[in-house]
Amino acid sequence: MRTKRPDYAPKTTNSGHMRGECVAFPAKAVQKPWPQQTSGHNKPATIMAMSITGYARVSTNDQDPTSQVEALRGAGCDPIYIEHASGATMERAQWAECNRSLGRGDTLVVARIDRLGRSLADLVETLDNLHTRGIHFRSLTEGIDTSTALGRMFYQLAGAFAEYERTLISERTRAGLDAARAAGRRIGRPPALTEEQKTSARQLHAQGHSIAATARVLGVSRATIRRAISKM
């Protein structure tokens, strides 16, 4: 379900923008004629235009998003969502709200492509999600527009680079694990119980203590005690 867009003018501070805000103006309507009817009657219809939504992000509260906002306004964006958050931050409230507001046929616009994704893989995942939902994407600085053939080619190239990045990460991880094993280091989480604690668990169980009581004494889960006992 699409989020209803606000129909108010933006509130501003001395810097011109509030932290975590959506700058919006009344949605515009366009007139399109009805197609020729079999009855011979024509009448005008008022329909809502597909939105061009802007998303601006700065990494800290001290940074000013004005240049991004002005570029997005120049591109016809309305509304514009403004985020004050680092690209590495998982929680981006304004982006979540912006993403929810988008529907099929809408266009998402950013001033620079690095405003949208935390990494190449994250960017491609976001673009793939937009593409699946029938939403176009534009980045003003890079001249990317996925509604065009050239823009769709960029999308394919970005996907290939993201796959390459994932492959490199996987290969580095495997190499690191192999090196750790060769050095005799344990891989994975440390054991919940030491060998001495496992022996204690088995002794307590042999003395008739319940699994629950043994788990409380050793400060571990009952499943851990069961695994220790099963290896007696």
- Band of residue 17 on the pLDDT scale cut at 50, 70, 90: low
Residues 112 and 217 in one domain: no
Reading the block at residue 47, the tokens are 């329909």
Beta strands in the chain (DSSP E): 21-23, 29-33, 44-48, 52-58, 80-84, 107-110, 136-139, 144-145
- Domain end among 99, 116, 151: 151
Give domain status of residue 167, yes or no: no
Sheet architecture: strand order including 144-145: 21-23, 80-84, 52-58, 107-110, 136-139, 144-145
pLDDT classification of 31: cutoffs 50, 70, 90:
very low
Report the chain's C-alpha Rg in angstroms. Answer: 28
- What pLDDT shows up at residue 72? 96
Note if 119 is an active site residue. Answer: no
Percent of the chain with pLDDT over 90: 21
Residue 156 covered by a domain: no
Residues contacting 44, CB < 8 A, separation 6+: 31, 32, 33, 34
- Contact assessment for residue 79 and residue 24, using Cβ atoms and an 8 Å cutoff: yes
How many separate domains does the chain show?
A: 2
Tokens of 72: 């997005």
Q: What is the pLDDT of residues 51-61, one digit of tens each?
A: 999 999 988 76
- Mean pLDDT across 121-146: 86
Judgement on whether residues 223 and 113 belong to the same structural domain of the protein: no
34 and 123 in a single domain? The answer is: yes
50/147 same-domain check = yes
How many residues are given for the chain?
232
- For residues 28 and 97, membership in a common domain is answered with yes
Residue 160 lies in a domain: no
Do 130 and 226 lie in one domain? The reply is: no
Average pLDDT over residues 188-217: 81
- Say which range, 110-114, 120-124, 140-144, 158-162, has the weakest mean pLDDT: 158-162
The CATH code of the domain that includes 50 is 3.40.50.1390
Quick one: pLDDT band at residue 206, thresholds 50, 70, 90? confident
Answer whether residue 213 shows pLDDT above 80: yes
Range of the domain at 81: 21-151
Q: Are 85 and 115 in contact (CB under 8 A)?
A: no
Chain segment 80-97, per-residue pLDDT in tens = 999 988 766 667 889 999
Which of 59, 101, 139, 210 is labelled catalytic? Answer: 59
Same domain, 200 and 146: no
In-domain check, residue 10: no
Whether 56 maps to a domain, the answer reads: yes
For residues 217 and 187, give the distance between their C-alpha atoms in angstroms, rounded to a whole number: 28
State the Cα–Cα distance between residues 106 and 52, nearest whole angstrom: 6
Residues 219 and 106 in one domain: no
**Same-domain pairing of 38 and 115:** yes
| 26 shares its domain with 81 | yes
Q: Does 143 share its domain with 205?
A: no
Element (H, E) at 73: helix 66-74
Q: How confident is the model at residue 24 (pLDDT cuts 50, 70, 90)?
A: low
pLDDT (tens digit, 9 = 90+) per residue, 38-79? Answer: 444 554 444 456 899 999 998 876 688 899 999 999 999 999
pLDDT of amino acid 61: 67
